[in-house]
Amino acid sequence: MRKKIVAGNWKMNTTVAEGVELAKGIVAKVNEISKGVTLVVAPPFTHLASVAEVLKDSPVCLSAQNCADQPKGAFTGEVSAEMLKSVGCCYTILGHSERRQYYGETSAKLVKKIALALENGLKVIYCVGEKHEDRSMGNHFDVVSSQISEVLFDLTPEQMKHVVIAYEPVWAIGTGVTATSEQAQEIHAFIRETIAAHFGEKVAEDTTILYGGSCKPSNAKELFACPDIDGGLIGGASLKADDFIAIAQAW
């Protein structure tokens, strides 16, 4: 059975002290959301140990925003999947469009990263999504289909149980422009069909597919009511505990 998830991607925001306060604010209100909804927070690497401490007796899960494409060794500045597991992460986000765009994240690198994350017992929130020009040329299905086939199709059905897909159209990220629920549902259904065609109906039915891109309390309800939208990956609105919780109350 697929899960309902609301995940907060804090990106490069908050100091450690602010992050700890934010996590405390979320934990304090977690009993205000339905038991069937999983909350995940993804602070920067520097905050993980302190935030893990805040989350430790709560149902809120810890995620990283990225991991290295190598297991260990002389890779200055990198953080391995094993390290993330050891600090208490359950998840890592991979393939975020900001990493694809600014840090040269390629499909080949993402294949390695996902393998290492899964080997180390992390679940993966794998991000896909088209740019504005792709959509205006009608190429969004092809772009998303390639992002899925190039990176996920060598996984086993068993491994896919640990992969969540986040559809985040680049034109909706941090812009205040949200995909309409029709646009989002259409491509979420397409993602599920793409998974079904390769891995079978059962895997596709069980795959959690999140929407991300200017999702906020005022539009979450309409988006999450769509049959193929299983929750959200939230940027800006995840930096306020009240907004993040309000989004998770959208069902």
Active-site positions read: 96, 168
Match 């600014």 to its residue by tokens.
Answer: 102
Considering only 33, 179, 195, 233, the residue that binds ligand 13P (CB under 6 A) is 233
Q: Is 235 in the site for ligand 13P (CB under 6 A)?
A: yes
Task: Pick the piece of the chain touching ligand 13P (CB under 6 A) from 27-35, 44-52, 146-154, 210-218.
Answer: 210-218
CA neighbours within 13 Å on the CB side: how many for 55? 24
CB of 60 to ligand 13P, least distance (A): 17
Which CB, 212 or 217, lies closer to ligand 13P? Answer: 212
Distance in angstroms (rounded) separating the CA atoms of residues 87 and 89: 6
Which residue of the chain is nearest ligand 13P when measured via CB?
A: 235
Could you give the string, one character per residue 159-188, with x where binding to ligand 13P holds by CB under 6 A and - elsewhere? Answer: ---------x----xx--------------
Q: Is 236 in the site for ligand 13P (CB under 6 A)?
A: yes
Which CB, 194 or 214, lies closer to ligand 13P? Answer: 214
The one-character DSSP state at 179 is P
Distance in angstroms (rounded) separating the CA atoms of residues 234 and 10: 8
Q: Is 214 in the site for ligand 13P (CB under 6 A)?
A: yes
**Residue 110 near residue 154, CB atoms below 8 Å:** no
Q: Is 110 in the site for ligand 13P (CB under 6 A)?
A: no
Nearest to 8 by CA among 217, 238, 208, 212: 238
Query: Between the CA of residue 104 and those of 5, 6, 82, 109, 160, what are the distances in Å?
Result: 28, 27, 22, 9, 25
The footprint of ligand 13P (CB under 6 A) covers: 9, 96, 168, 173-174, 212-215, 233-237
